[in-house]
Amino acid sequence: MGIIHPPVIVPYRGYGTNKKVYIKGMVLENRPEFLAHADDKRSKNLKHMVARYLSTAIPDVEIRISFAGHEKTVRTDEVGYFATWFVMEEELKHTGWLGVEYQLQDSEWGESVEHGEVLIVNPTATYGVISDIDDTVLVSHATELLRKLRLILTQNAKTRLPFAGVSEFYHALAGEAANPIFYVSSSEWNLYDFLVDFFATKQLPKGPFLLQNFKSGLKELISSGGGSHAHKIEKIKRLMDLFPSLSFVLIGDSGQRDPEIYADAVAHYPHRIKAIYIRAIGKKKELDQSLVKSTAVHGVEMLLVNDTAEAYIHAKGLGLF
């Protein structure tokens, strides 16, 4: 009917090997740029967060993706996502962060261009890290609805806080070998720009975010971070299968289902998990001993820690850095 605003390409950080690369993004209607400052008023933070959940996804839009001399055309699905694999005829010569170009092909709105990036994991990496975000890296109070909503609606990427010592611990894990860190979280894709800003502001290691499905509407905002965590299992499996020679350190918290999800990962990939660190959150000060025993059978310790320092000391003792 001619009332839709011009679409905006939102590229997400991709990842892959020098042979195979996963690229993902979304097309939204006229999504504004949310610039945060430490002295922003609560009303501005509220406005920005609500706007993130009122963005409209646009289906059936054609996008041309250019990467490492290769091009591919994809269309957004019924909920606005596009995702594809680039399989290289010749191995990529460079690792680390490489650029990707995205171009809107539908002439109705013009040919807008966006730029993103993908992480090509260095073959010399000694292991990888898979980490949750809420109440693992970012203080979120995810198990307490009112406290969680107050943080989401009144704070921004410049004022939200990480747990003490997380930046130092994660940089130590990344090490000189450029070990990749993947952030697998039940936060929604709505919060992608917030997370990019937060991690840069707090000087946390840069890595791809693997998040939960985009949500639209105030009801979804209220339930942000809740619901099923089954998508985490799927994303962990994708990473394990994409990097078959890489072992992983798993980091999460006791507030939701990280212990169960990580125990499942050990069961399916018993020789590829180096350690599991679970931050004790709220009243959950003990781990299910059946889960602890199930990972111990495979020589993997699932450790409940009260703070980052405990995990740091244990990891150093294992020779992880």
Which of 120, 137, 153 is the endpoint of a domain? 120
Residue 112 structural domain: 7-120
Q: Is the pLDDT of residue 108 over 50?
A: yes
Closest CA to 137 of 284, 12, 251, 285: 251
CA distances from 19 to 50, 97, 153, 237, 244 (A): 40, 15, 42, 18, 13
Domain-located, residue 12: yes
Across residues 275-301, what is the average pLDDT?
A: 93
pTM (two decimals): 0.93
Are 81 and 185 contained in the same domain?
no
Are 52 and 94 contained in the same domain?
yes
Are 116 and 157 contained in the same domain?
no
CA distances from 217 to 15, 51, 55, 243 (A): 30, 9, 8, 36
Identify the pLDDT of residue 138.
Answer: 96
The total number of structural domains in the chain stands at 2
CA distance 90 to 169: 36
Give pLDDT tens digits for 258-280: 999 999 999 999 999 999 999 99
Entry field: residues in the chain: 321
Domain-located, residue 2: no
Give pLDDT tens digits for 221-247: 565 555 556 889 999 999 999 999 999
Whose tokens are 């195979």? That residue is 20
Are 110 and 132 contained in the same domain?
no
CA distance 252 to 136: 5
